[in-house]
Amino acid sequence: MIQLYKLKSPIVILNFKTYLESSGENALNLAKALESAGEESGITMVASPQAADIYRIKDETSILLLSQHIDPISPGGNTGANLFETLLDNGIDGSLLNHSEKRMELADIDLITQKLNENQLISCICSNNVSTSMAAASLNPTFVAIEPPELIGTGIPVSKAEPEVVEGSVKNVRKINKDVKVLCGAGISTGEDMAQAIELGAEGVLLASGIIKADNPKEALLDLVSKI
């Protein structure tokens, strides 16, 4: 069960995706870098590794862990799927849902968000524009993470390229559900990018390649939070 005090803003969520630099043994090393950067900076840092790497990271760190996806299924015959109960048993503190690289139907996002909420776990629903941010907020998740898909993996920060999408999500999510925190992502990698995101009203960032591909991920994480 998550300890809510660990979720103080601002927050950094690192999506490990399926880069080789963040898979297997490298996933563990990256999680340790994240843990150590979090301890040094005092900023809440959360890892979202592949399902196969959750147990090894849980075993060797005390970092908060989100799965990258949960399938809307019940236990039984679902070969290849990610079952909520298994992920929970292996130590997740919550999950990303509806990432642009793993879109879900609205009813399924709702189902899994409810399961996470019932277990007092973190739910982070990704959205691609202001309207989907609003729809996501109505499902009562912990976070809505706005990520324009066209900027993902480009190194062009959403906070600079599409500030209106971040501000619009913050303003409209607040109208729908003031308890939901808004994060932003896509192209975020530097301290300046994160500072701009916070100025736009985001309570943190969801990011990947800028840190995962950095020569020294821990230094990159410390730079990310250096201007807030």
Helix (H, G, I), strand (E, B) or coil at 66: strand
List of residues contacting ligand G3P (CB under 6 A):
15, 99, 147, 152-153, 185-188, 206-210
Nearer to ligand G3P, 22 or 113 (CB): 22
Nearer to ligand G3P, 101 or 108 (CB): 101
**Shortest Å distance, C-beta 142 to ligand G3P:** 15
Q: What token pair was written down for 190?
A: 């530097």
**Shortest Å distance, C-beta 184 to ligand G3P:** 10
By C-alpha distance, which of 136, 122, 132 is closest to 92?
A: 122
Q: Are 87 and 115 in contact (CB under 8 A)?
A: no
**Shortest Å distance, C-beta 127 to ligand G3P:** 12
Q: Are 218 and 36 in contact (CB under 8 A)?
A: yes
Nearer to ligand G3P, 137 or 145 (CB): 145
User: Is the torsion defined by CA of 65, 145, 43, 22 positive or negative?
Assistant: positive
Q: How far is residue 153's CA from residue 157's CA, in Å, rounded to a whole number?
A: 10
Residues carrying an active site annotation: 99, 147
Taking CB positions, which residue lies at the least distance from ligand G3P?
A: 209
